[in-house]
Structure 1
Amino acid sequence: MTIDRRSLLVAGLAAGITGSGARGQTPPPLSPRPLARGLPQPAETIDLWPAGAKALARRPGAAALPANETVDDRSADNLIADRAVWQISRPRMVVFRPDRPNGAAVLITPGGGYRLVVVDKEGYEMARWLAARGFTAFVLFYRLPGEGWALGPDTALADAQRAIRLIRQRAGDYGVQAERVATMGFSAGGHVCADLAARFEAAAYAPIDAADRLSARPWCAAPAYPVVSMDPAIAHPGSRALLLGPNPPPELEAAHSPDRVVPSDAPPHFLLHAEDDPTVPIENTLRLRAALRARKVPVETHLFAAGGHGFGLRSTVGKPVSAWPELWRAWAATVGLV
């Protein structure tokens, strides 16, 4: 589905009515069909970049993106949404506020193989779970590096760094303690999460305002079944190609493999993977764990025999892997997030 101008205007009006923080901001990705009733849908968004920010520059010779981003609902069940969005030219966060904030925020980076960004399964569903437990959740719709952005492999990292800084700048508006901002990512979004946790001090973009004087280091990080290594032996081929392009030199592979650049002051990590993952080899998580341990960074690791890839919350029912969200919450308390 391509979002037309009329739909954007209607959604923007609705967002302005239902959430004052959404005024003047790009609305959430719109739904190609009515969604199941009873599920809270976000109305509040935060655009990451002001118009004209150099971080939004296109690569010379890159094809222009369509004016409207594209949303595809891949679900055959009217009661279950499974949307994916791409051609994102206005990167933004969608906000899920809890009724009783516990003072902590979580930035969620959904997966999609760097080809698209999953909306529901690894975004909104996790955000609702977190908000129901007091966390203020921010789902990040980051730009895709293969779509011609001048920042290249640092495109999604720049969006993630900027997102953390904006959350900290506006922490008082959300009942959040500015330092207590965690990150959680899935699959290729797990790479965004791990990359942020490893390269939070990297100058991924030129500073533009006061927010950029704030730290981009997360309080803690939880990459789930993550793409980590760009080593062709274990890399997810699609993510690697879209992030680095064809035939990248070894130094580029190393620079964008978080296990090879993680610093000794990286935040504590919670790692999660299924042994039977057919898409992203479990060696990605094992290499990141080994690198964190070598640098004496606190890390908790949960490996499950069954779960496959992309299980999120919805595909865990009846399996031991269903315990993972509560395991994360208990661990988050041990590192002082809550």
Structure 2
Amino acid sequence: MKTNRRELILGAVSAGLAGQAGHAIAQTPPPGSPATRDGAAPDPLETIDLWPGEAPGLPATPPTETVAERSTDPGMHDRAVTGIRRPRMAVFRPETPNGTAVLVTPGGGYQRVVVDKEGYELGRWLSARGYTVFVLFYRLPGEGWANRQDVPLADAQRAMRLVRYRAADFGIDPERVLAMGFSAGGHLCADLATRADAPVYAAVDDADALSARPRLAAPIYPVIALSAPLAHTGSRNNLLGEDAGPGMEAAHSPDRNVTASTPPCFLVHAEDDGAVVVGNSLRLRAALVEHGVPVETHLFTHGGHGFGISRAAGKPAAHWPELYVRWVESMLAAS
């Protein structure tokens, strides 16, 4: 009897794909609404929990996961999730893997994690072109977790290591695991690129012996500076707390942590971004150039903030995903 791809995925999910390296346990379903809107693309079926049991630093009063639908279009989702107690990755498997994986960290100002415009849309678009995509739903620092400023980075590091540990399961080359993030998720992407080796959690299994450094990184309209005048105040306060001083701001501003070993970066920003000013990308670019790290930068006149893929339609900024794929191919071919 012939088994199709959907049946294989459902069978794997039912069996409980490994969330703890080397062990099969039931996985937490992806964030989403119970029903798919008419005309909206289906949600992913497969997830990978990051941590065996509870995530480190669980608050005394654990957060309760809630998904809010913000779209008024019956054919399109625009969801945002808060209260993430079980951080996890939603997996988009391509029909024919090209051997490259992308860890996607959506934005949300470190107050929420958006599901669709900077998560599932990218998962579908990239997987249709052969990339295996892992959309990360990371813990939110202002929800009572210990060591709040490093909670998102701990989840991103752990995610990178799990993807590499399970590379054979997905037809991935462990040396071709990339990172992409948007807005506050762009800060997380850049933080991962510049602090991949920072000891922000205690190892829990064999996966944690692997590198968390992405081969390439793509912070898209990212929060970079955490001090005035460039800081996005909401992201800064949610990550660090309102009382954080200049030393804490500097330690968590990715441009201050660039070294010669930072992976090459692909930057996209709109000049008319009224939420996260373009100077954030320019500051990161300057630091990359100063340290001899290859960087490709695309600045668009119009686009605003949070355009992802669908919200850039009809504008020059709509071409950024194709530019990204061409850059990835050229960088991988050159190395």
Q: TM-score, normalised by structure 1?
A: 0.91
Question: 2:85 matched to 1:89?
Answer: yes
Q: CA deviation at 1:232?
A: 1.9
Between the aligned partners of 1:189 and 1:223, the Cα distance in structure 2 is 8
User: Given the alignment of the two structures, is residue 243 of structure 1 paired with residue 245 of structure 2, yes or no?
Assistant: no
User: Percent identity at matched positions?
Assistant: 59
Q: Does 1:330 align with 2:309?
A: no
Structure 1 residue 44: deviation in Å?
0.5
The Cα shift of 1:139 comes to: 0.2
CA offset digits 1:172-220 (Å, max 9, x no partner): 0001001100000000000010000000010111111100000000010
Shift of 1:17: 7.7
Q: Cα deviations across residues 135-183 of structure 1 (Å, max 9, x unaligned)?
A: 0000000000111111210000000000000000000000100110000
Give the superposition deviation at 1:30: 2.7
Structure 1 residues 223, 28: CA separation in 2 closer, same or farther (over 3 Å shift)? same
Tell me if 1:64 matches 2:61.
Answer: yes
The correspondence of residues 1-338 of structure 1 with structure 2, limited to 5 A, is 18-21=10-13, 23=16, 24-31=26-33, 33-37=35-39, 39-52=41-54, 56-58=56-58, 64-66=61-63, 68-336=64-332
- In the alignment, the residues of structure 2 paired with residue 227 and residue 117 of structure 1 have an alpha-carbon distance, to the nearest angstrom, of 14
**Alpha-carbon distance between aligned partners in 2 of 1:337 and 1:160, rounded to the nearest angstrom:** 26
CA distance in 1, matches of 2:143, 2:253: 20
CA contact (8 A) 1:32 1:73 kept: no
SS in 1 for 2:32: coil
For 1:115-136, what per-residue CA distance to the aligned partner results, in whole angstroms no more than 9, with x for missing partners? 0000001000011000000000
1:15 is displaced (CA, Å) by: 10
| CA deviation map 1:12-68 (0-9, x unaligned) | xx999824146200000131543234624211100000115xx5213xxx56134x4
* Aligned residue type for 1:335: M
Question: Structure 1 residues 17, 300: closer, same or farther in 2, change over 3 A?
Answer: closer
Cα distance in 1 for residues equivalent to 2:31 and 2:190: 25
**Distance in 2, Cα, partners of 1:81 & 1:199:** 33
Which runs of 5 or more residues in structure 2 are unaligned? Answer: 1-5, 17-25
Q: Is the 8 A contact 1:104 1:337 kept in 2?
A: no
How many residues align structurally?
A: 319
SS at match of 1:222: strand
1:110–1:188: 8 Å Cα contact kept in structure 2? Answer: yes
Q: Tell whether the 8 Å contact from 2:39 to 2:76 is kept in structure 1 after alignment.
A: no
Per-residue deviation at 1:75?
Answer: 0.5
1:274 and 1:29 mapped to 2: Cα distance?
A: 29
Structure 1 residue 334, shift from structure 2 partner = 1.3
CA contact (8 A) 2:32 2:79 kept: no
Q: Residues of 1 paired with 2:186 and 2:228: CA distance?
A: 18
Deviation larger for 165-174 or 243-252 = 243-252
Q: C-alpha root-mean-square deviation of aligned residues, in Å?
A: 1.8
Secondary structure in 2 matching 1:193? helix
Amino acid at match of 2:230: I
Distance 2:231 2:137 in 1: 23
- Residues 15 and 43 of structure 1 are in contact (CA less than 8 Å); yes or no, is this contact kept in structure 2? no
Letter in 1 for 2:56: L
Quick one: structure 1 residues 314 and 17, their matched pair in 2 at CA, closer, same or farther if it must change by over 3 Å?
closer
**How far, CA to CA, are the matches of 2:235 and 2:36 in structure 1?**
31
Residue 245 (structure 1) shift: 0.4
Q: Could you tell me how far apart the structure 2 residues matched to 1:77 and 1:260 are? A: 41
Tell me the TM-score normalized by structure 2. Answer: 0.92
Could you say what secondary structure the match of 2:332 adopts?
coil
